Structure 1
Amino acid sequence: MDRVGLRHRLGATKAPDPVSDQSKRPPSSIPDAEPKPLDEPYEATVAAAFISSKGTELLHFAKRKVEERGIKTKLVTTEDKEHNVLLMSLPSGEMMKIAEELAIRKRDLEGYVRTFRSADVDMFTTNPDASDLFTQSEQILLIEYCLDKIKPDNTFDDVVGNESILEWCQRQHYLEDVFPLHHQQSAKDIMAELSFSSPLYDVGGISKLQDYFGEKVALYFAFLTFYTKTLVSYAVAGIAVTVASTFMNSKAALLLFLYSIFGALWGASLISLWKRRNIEIVYMWTSLIMGDSSDESLMSMTKKEDLRNKFFGIEVSHRITGEKITVFPKRQKLVRYLLSAVVVLFSLFVSSKLMMAALDFEDTMNLWLEDKAHLYKWSSPFIMKRIVLKNVPLGLYLGCLNVLDFVYGLVAEKLTLQENHKYHSEYENSLVLKLVLFQFLNMNAAYLYVAFIRQDYLRLASSIRSVLMIELVIGNVKETIVPIFLARRKRKAKMAEALQKKKEENPDLADTEQFVSSSDLDPISTQLDMDPYDGVFGDYFELVRQFSQITLFAAAFPLGALLALLNNFIEIFTDSYKLVYMTRRASPKRALNIGAWIRAFEFISITSVLTNLGIITVTANYASAVVGKGTSQTEEYFWMIVVEHVLLVARFAFMTLFEGIPSWVRDQRAKERFLASKKDAAGAPSPS
């Protein structure tokens, strides 16, 4: 990293002007930066929105650097004149070179998936200009990889790590954002995959998501769809247990015990079957098998873009190859990890104090409702007393939790940044660990306290039910109705402005022509007004929280799975709608799995065996009804511990039974190798 830049970041020096070389100073005007109509022939892939008030020198410098890398550009100005937008696309020849560098896997004309090579382009397309060779997400991936390689020169100060020139401009507030552009027809095709009668994505829908948004987003929706499908059986079992317990109260303990066993096996099957499904999806996309040693090396070749530009360190020679590589000293990394651990522990301490205060407030409120609420006219009605005031402590607690989650999220992100991870995957896994650990204790500590310290089964069931119902209603209102309302309001204002402009330009316009449609709006300004896409991280986080609520305390509220199922049907549509119509287009990221999130699900699934049997044994005091009346409570607890160990072993065996490579994938690989050997014998190139 540049020493002057490092001194400036520490406050030792003042940064000079970013571009001080007089020979690099462009003209002060932008003659070609005029608004262009929607139907212009230039097909842009990515846009960089520079802030007009910051001048044009840096804009032209960046434009020249981008063009030197073979990227085609066009400069336009938004209608409000607030942004000069650099539109960029990559010619087919450049795309092919970068695709070969990244070892992109593509399906050839014969149906085989192989590593792309420019020399073999005729195997992938019959189009002379190869314009149909790459999907939209691949085109964006290739140009963004190319843009990441354009670095600031030595006239730039305060350069962080290995960041690109556009990242530097954005961090210094010369540039608002760099984002891929939406394609209206492709976006409509994705939303057409969902309907009231077909609320889940099928294989074709997931493929469209992959072509448009890339593997990472497609894998999220594939997992959400798979998880929602498996929830059906869990929800049906929960309904059956609830109904049966109502009519056969004497059998309630046994029914809850059986439901806990079913939940443990259901959680194991969800994780195991998803891993199999993950292997199938990756094989369909890349023809590579996760877990196969030879394929793993090919997979590692495709992750060059996983390097974080903000990683910094010292240059050393590789002990084997002798090449210059950047490393971060282990001692400094250890110190930063220890700092993260201290901050996380302190945050958990604050969370536990908040939980205790909330429970004390709830006790005080319940006592007041019983003893004094009837003395006041405003608090006497049933709705006010039993519905509104009864849930005030819970509402305040959930509000405080959301604030604490938000603050901790910012802290966790800062801590993970200062850990200076080399790869995006390492960075994300570290962030997932912090957030899941905090969320697990922050959200569930109160329930665990009520279950095992206060041993109040009815209060536990009531709390879980209230939280799930509140999140089902409030969560969807906050994430769906409010954003859609605000987006439509903003769009309506834009259309009103466009209509006013149309009237001013055409005073004699007939009444029948005094209207505007979406096509009359400036597409660049429209997309720039959208919120930036913040990735699938928050979406996975919500699923982990939901999964913990419906599995850890299933014995207290079996209908939790039903509420989660209803929520997920809505979630699939709303997440798709937001991605397509309400946020800037997501940058495609290649991925082979859902990362550390699957380990979070595994941890919660194992813990749920302990918590549910603990609720049955300790909280509800149903042990005697499950294992029979013992000579003492200690004996009953002993046999429940035996049951818990047996269930954990059964769960492990269940996962082992279902995990592994699907047979059809093995058969297809064997068929490919057989056909490849025949081609080798005939002298033809084989898939690789």
Structure 2
Amino acid sequence: MSSWTPVPCQCCYTSCIQSLVAIQLRYPAKAETKRWLISKLEGHKKEGGAHLLVHPGEDDDGTLILLSATPYTLLKATEVLGLAKPSSDGSMVAFSYNNKADFPNSDKPEAFLTLAERQLLVKYATDSAKVLQETPVPGYPERRLYPGQSIVQSLQEWGIIEKFYPLHVEEELHLLTRAWYSQIHRIGQPIDAIRAYFGDSVALYFSFLGFFTISLVPMAILGAVYHCLSLSFLDKYLLFAVFSVLWSTMTMEFWKRHCATKAYVWGTLHLKSRFEAPRARYWGPSALNPVTGRWEPYYPSWKRKLRIMLVSIPTVFVFLGLAFDGMIMYLYWERWVQASYQQSRGSGRLAAVCLYLPSCIYTLYIELLNVIYKRAATILTEWENHRAESTFQNQLTVKVLVFRFINCFSGLFYITFYMQDLQLLQKRLSSLLIISQVINQFKECLLPLLLQKLQQQPGASHRKNCKDAPVVDSFVSEGNLSAYPGLFDDYMELFVQFGYASLFSCVYPLTAALLVVNNITEIWTDSFKLCRLFQKPFPCPAANIGVWQVAFEVLGIFAVGTNCFIITISPEVKEFCQDFGMTPEQSLLYAIGLEHILVTLKIVLAFAIPDQPHWLRIKVMQMEYHSWDALKQAEIKRALPIC
């Protein structure tokens, strides 16, 4: 306790301070750099400091700094971020420090704020530490900070700070793992507990993963029935295709309602929009920002657009060309293997196994190209030099989404619309589902676990066994774990799954069943790697799944055309049309008519299902009214003459 920053007032005093966030400096740490950084982190806001509680760490290497915060700092940051909290009457109200008496437990931050919220607020305060005038970094005279520049982000970019991560609380983590993945027989996930420990964005991902998996169950049951029974084309294709189209619409509409409810309960439904500071890797000559009045790097937008048009877009097309080349080679090998199999008259089990060899190799090619392109897209987006982190993430997401859609679905679309070979489409889809799932499970869980064992990193299990070791050693061992890669690849995997289920499941009815099995294991592996294999990620406030909602809805639109065309080219439908004397042109017109009906039905469903439940709309209007009324009362008080 004596090594922590002294609290500024008696009301903030506590006998025990909980370490929330750790900073590790590059070894060997320079004493003057560490002292200067600590002084900035514990300094007052008016001096550019973060106003945090700081502990020097006292680890063997002298590189560790521990951070915590007083109740005052936490509550003021809660107000600035616009987090809503339950008021005395039970309704969710944006927190106000001046009215903190209206919020139960506001005098007890451990009860008023979750662990994830406290760590988020400490990170927010840490990022707010800035220099007020141009100054060199002590110990690194070649590194200079300009006025208004974030100290911690800049030191991270320069490698002076090697690691910056929130800390686990072993007791809370143990309770969470017992309720989450340790007991496999449990049905459902403790989403609120996940949110309290890891934050909103992580909780929303696992909530969506569980919601999506449950929504697949009716399709899986229907697909299993169709697979086991011999049905006419009206049952086998038409009804299942219509079901797939309506399923994709209703799944996303009901998810929006579920997501809005969660965001309201968590207090993130109406977060305050904030002016984003420049990214740490944003570079350019210093210029005066007309918005903030501070000197910061400036890079002309026309140069960025020029880089996008002349380099980024052509590079994306090069990778798209590689994706199409792989598809063409796969189709060539498929025809060659089929011809060889027919010439050998299907003799031997080896010949039958070889029938699936081109599809397996092509699936491996797709997965490898996805990994390479993701790295290339990250480098390209970084090179484009976007100022804000949100812009950077949106640009990266669009690049990867476009390529992943083409790379994963181009072969299936080609087989469907050009070759019109439903048997080959079924074979290709089954190979994709099985092989991709095996690769993803190995890549996401088994490979990190093996690498951890090989590197002999003292992970969470080691910390648990070494109860007599100093607490600071456990903090250092958490920093030795690999940084959490984020949720981007996890959402991308669900995006591809949603495409398989909505676009082509009528051809291979077992698609949904395979996805359900995969996602059940996915919940276990994702939760295990989050809790035990990686550093704890910083919480991030979120009210929805962002751009991914739009991506899934776009797939639902594509599903209409794809399913209608599959109905048209199915052998049973063609035979039915011939029996009734219909030409291919007439059957195509009927398919277009069905497509228009389904699109209309999707639009009607989207409007008929509100994005928010009725009770939630009332609560939101009440929040807006109370905010407006409070603002009006404040204006009246300011306008009253002082007696």
Change (3 A) 1:367 1:575: same
On the 8 A contact 1:49/1:178 being kept in 2, the answer is: yes
On the 8 A contact 1:552/1:608 being kept in 2, the answer is: yes
Change (3 A) 1:112 1:627: farther
* Correspondent of 1:51 among 26, 33, 38: 26
1:338 paired to 2:323:
no
**2 CA distance for matches of 1:431 and 1:530?**
26
The residue identity in structure 1 corresponding to 2:193 is K
Matching residue of 1:605: 556
Matching residue of 2:441: 476
Q: Secondary structure at the match of 2:22?
A: strand
On the 8 A contact 1:47/1:178 being kept in 2, the answer is: yes
For 1:35-74, what aligned pairs fall within 5 Å after superposition? 42-53=17-28, 55-68=30-43, 69=49, 70-74=51-55
Q: Secondary structure at the match of 1:528?
A: helix
Q: Secondary structure at the match of 1:193?
A: helix
**2 CA distance for matches of 1:618 and 1:322?**
61
* Correspondent of 1:635 among 578, 581, 586: 586
Change (3 A) 1:423 1:451: same
**TM-score, length-scaled by structure 2:** 0.84
Matching residue of 1:141: 120
The residue identity in structure 2 corresponding to 1:282 is A
Q: Deviations over 1:409-429 (max 9, x none)?
A: 112112222344444333322
How far 1:129 moved relative to its partner? 6.2
How large is the RMSD of aligned CA atoms in angstroms? 3.7
**1 CA distance for matches of 2:624 and 2:162?**
50
How far 1:59 moved relative to its partner? 3.0
Change (3 A) 1:626 1:198: farther
Change (3 A) 1:78 1:678: closer
Identity, % of aligned positions: 25
**1 CA distance for matches of 2:617 and 2:554?**
29
Change (3 A) 1:98 1:46: same
1:257 paired to 2:242:
no
How far 1:359 moved relative to its partner? 2.2
How far 1:472 moved relative to its partner? 2.9
Matching residue of 1:354: 326
**1 CA distance for matches of 2:256 and 2:168?**
32
1:560 paired to 2:548:
no
**1 CA distance for matches of 2:164 and 2:88?**
34
Change (3 A) 1:252 1:519: farther
On the 8 A contact 1:276/1:661 being kept in 2, the answer is: yes
The residue identity in structure 1 corresponding to 2:617 is R
**2 CA distance for matches of 1:553 and 1:455?**
13
Matching residue of 2:337: 365
Change (3 A) 1:411 1:626: farther
1:197 paired to 2:153:
no
**2 CA distance for matches of 1:386 and 1:342?**
41
The residue identity in structure 2 corresponding to 1:457 is L
**2 CA distance for matches of 1:193 and 1:523?**
23
Matching residue of 2:217: 232
* Correspondent of 1:120 among 86, 96, 99: 99
Q: Deviations over 1:472-521 (max 9, x none)?
A: 334323323443455467679789999xxxxxxxxxxxxxxxx9545647
**1 CA distance for matches of 2:223 and 2:483?**
39
Structure 2 unmatched runs, 5+: 5-14, 44-48, 635-643
Matching residue of 2:530: 579
* Correspondent of 1:569 among 520, 526, 531: 520
For 1:300-315, what aligned pairs fall within 5 Å after superposition? 300-301=272-273, 303=274, 308-311=279-282, 315=287
Matching residue of 1:26: none
1:274 paired to 2:255:
yes
The residue identity in structure 1 corresponding to 2:377 is A
1:172 paired to 2:158:
yes
Matching residue of 1:220: 205
**2 CA distance for matches of 1:324 and 1:163?**
9
Q: Deviations over 1:521-566 (max 9, x none)?
A: 7312331232211211111011001111222211221110111111
Q: Deviations over 1:350-409 (max 9, x none)?
A: 2111221222233333444454698xxxxx751x3323x333322322222222111211
**2 CA distance for matches of 1:353 and 1:328?**
37
1:591 paired to 2:542:
yes
Q: Deviations over 1:97-150 (max 9, x none)?
A: 322322332223442322222222333345756554322112111111122123
Change (3 A) 1:635 1:420: same
How far 1:272 moved relative to its partner? 1.1
1:413 paired to 2:378:
yes
**2 CA distance for matches of 1:629 and 1:518?**
79
**2 CA distance for matches of 1:495 and 1:583?**
9
Matching residue of 1:386: 352
**1 CA distance for matches of 2:448 and 2:292?**
54
Change (3 A) 1:74 1:493: closer
On the 8 A contact 1:114/1:287 being kept in 2, the answer is: no
Matching residue of 1:188: 174
**1 CA distance for matches of 2:326 and 2:627?**
64
On the 8 A contact 1:159/1:168 being kept in 2, the answer is: no
On the 8 A contact 1:495/1:517 being kept in 2, the answer is: no
How far 1:269 moved relative to its partner? 0.4
**2 CA distance for matches of 1:497 and 1:675?**
51
**2 CA distance for matches of 1:664 and 1:496?**
45
Matching residue of 2:11: none
How far 1:571 moved relative to its partner? 1.3
* Correspondent of 1:432 among 394, 397, 400: 397
On the 8 A contact 1:253/1:616 being kept in 2, the answer is: no
Q: Secondary structure at the match of 1:52?
A: coil
**2 CA distance for matches of 1:324 and 1:497?**
47
The residue identity in structure 2 corresponding to 1:107 is P
**2 CA distance for matches of 1:587 and 1:124?**
26
Q: Secondary structure at the match of 2:535?
A: coil
Q: Deviations over 1:571-602 (max 9, x none)?
A: 12221221112211110111121111111101
Matching residue of 2:8: none
Change (3 A) 1:439 1:94: same
The residue identity in structure 2 corresponding to 1:341 is I
